Amino acid sequence: MISEEEACSKILKTIQPLPARRVSLLSALGCFAAEDYFARQPLPNFDNSAMDGYAVVASSGRTGERLRLIGEQPAGLDRQLRISPGEAVRIFTGAPTPAGADAVVMQEDVTRDRDEIVLNVGVEPGEFIRKRGCDLSEGQKILSAGERIRAATLALLAAQGFSDLAVGAEVSIAIVSTGNELVSVGDELRQGQVYESNSALLQALLKRCGAMLKSAEHSRDDRESLIETIERGLKNHVLIITGGVSVGEHDLVQLALRSLGAKIDIWRVAIKPGKPFLFGRAGGCAVFGLPGNPVSAFVTFLQFVRPAILKMMGAADLDLPKVPARLIADITNDGDRPHYVRGKLEGGKFTPVGRQESHALFGLSQSNALLRVAVGESLKAGEIVDVQIWD
């Protein structure tokens, strides 16, 4: 049995980012940038009005002042207007400010009198003008390699005229669930059987990573059907197998993998839940064997599989987000493996929820965060702890 840290570092040493690709802007949502991106132009790109109103010279902008209208500046076409003190230009939001103007008065603050306006307020220099480059300078970094492209990142790239960009690869994934006792959702459940739920769990978690699910198959616990199903799964970048990696007579996954020429790098890790976890390689495919118990599959996916997939996709940050929280109950780990306690993070407080056993799916479903309690660690209610957010 190796430590969790050893397992993680061994996996991440083996796994490398896949080659990058170019995609259109919208297809990049959720992907990771494959290179740094820099601003092609300042934002805004020219001084412009923040309001519908009148461009003026602030020095002639006292309350009660009467200004002569000399033109109109709409958004979209720069009419190259110029004003002097005592004059005003009708202007609209986003329109370039005329030369000589150093402020805009909102239309609500003036009284229009044919080709003149009367100011109902005093005007300060710079008011309601969005200066060129005040948001972003030309050449400034707007996106780092390895950063996830989110909705606002897409908008910024569009505002900079990028129509496509280089992003990390799509990672193809196969899931194989194993177990004679399992029945597909929708089929009749007989005495002693259970519904197969790990595929649903893993597919949902994979979706969150942005990985591409190619297939989800089930195999009975017999050598031939395991070999056949696993062989199909190995055609992908990643194969995730659940169940059958423990030490029982029906746990034949290792056997099947070896007979397909796979190299098993890791089997059994000091982690609770999830001890029988397996990692290996077969050709270009990374193989993860997760224990069948739902909570074990869940925890080992998040701690070992998720970071590996993100690394393949070109992500820089492979960790689950962590936040400090006030612990609501005493927790002691007097076992021999670090324990991932499932809990609810709400209003800055972390409360362990449900049964903390590896089969307890309802408890897991009530949680949104995990607290790692190290071997021998004793945490007291009221303490501030770092918890991993998984939802």
The residue ranges that bind Mg ion (CB under 5 A) are: 179, 243-244, 292
Taking the least distance from each CB to ligand AMP, the nearer of 220 and 344 is: 220
Taking the least distance from each CB to ligand AMP, the nearer of 26 and 194 is: 194
Nearest alpha-carbon partner for 97 in 56, 47, 45: 47
Identity of the residue numbered 62:
R
CB 378 → ligand AMP: shortest distance, Å? 30
CB 198 → ligand AMP: shortest distance, Å? 3
CB 359 → ligand AMP: shortest distance, Å? 6
Torsion sign across C-alpha atoms 92, 96, 101, 103: positive
- β-strands 2-3, 269-270: how paired? parallel
Taking the least distance from each CB to Mg ion, the nearer of 77 and 247 is: 247
CB 29 → Mg ion: shortest distance, Å? 38
Name which of Mg ion, ligand AMP, none residue 44 binds, using a CB cut-off of 5 to 8 Å depending on partner kind. Answer: none
Taking the least distance from each CB to Mg ion, the nearer of 21 and 220 is: 220
The distance in angstroms from the start CA to the end CA of the chain is 30
Taking the least distance from each CB to Mg ion, the nearer of 96 and 179 is: 179
Structure tokens at 167: 């992003």
CB 238 → ligand AMP: shortest distance, Å? 17
Taking the least distance from each CB to ligand AMP, the nearer of 48 and 198 is: 198
Taking the least distance from each CB to ligand AMP, the nearer of 297 and 369 is: 297
CB 358 → ligand AMP: shortest distance, Å? 8
- The Cα–Cα gap between 277 and 304 comes to 9
Name which of ligand AMP, Mg ion, none residue 197 binds, using a CB cut-off of 5 to 8 Å depending on partner kind. Answer: ligand AMP
Taking the least distance from each CB to Mg ion, the nearer of 179 and 314 is: 179
CB 201 → ligand AMP: shortest distance, Å? 8
CB 258 → ligand AMP: shortest distance, Å? 18
Name which of Mg ion, ligand AMP, none residue 314 binds, using a CB cut-off of 5 to 8 Å depending on partner kind. Answer: none
Name which of Mg ion, ligand AMP, none residue 146 binds, using a CB cut-off of 5 to 8 Å depending on partner kind. Answer: none
Name which of Mg ion, ligand AMP, none residue 291 binds, using a CB cut-off of 5 to 8 Å depending on partner kind. Answer: ligand AMP
CB 171 → ligand AMP: shortest distance, Å? 22
Taking the least distance from each CB to ligand AMP, the nearer of 203 and 351 is: 203
Name which of Mg ion, ligand AMP, none residue 198 binds, using a CB cut-off of 5 to 8 Å depending on partner kind. Answer: ligand AMP
Bridge partners for 384 per DSSP = 326
Contact positions toward ligand AMP, by CB under 6 A? 177, 179, 181-182, 194, 196-198, 242-244, 246, 248, 291-294
Name which of Mg ion, ligand AMP, none residue 194 binds, using a CB cut-off of 5 to 8 Å depending on partner kind. Answer: ligand AMP
- β-strands 238-242, 172-178: how paired? parallel
- The Cα–Cα gap between 168 and 146 comes to 8
- Classify burial at 10, counting beta carbons within 10 Å of its beta carbon; exposed 0-12, middle 13-18, buried 19 or more: middle
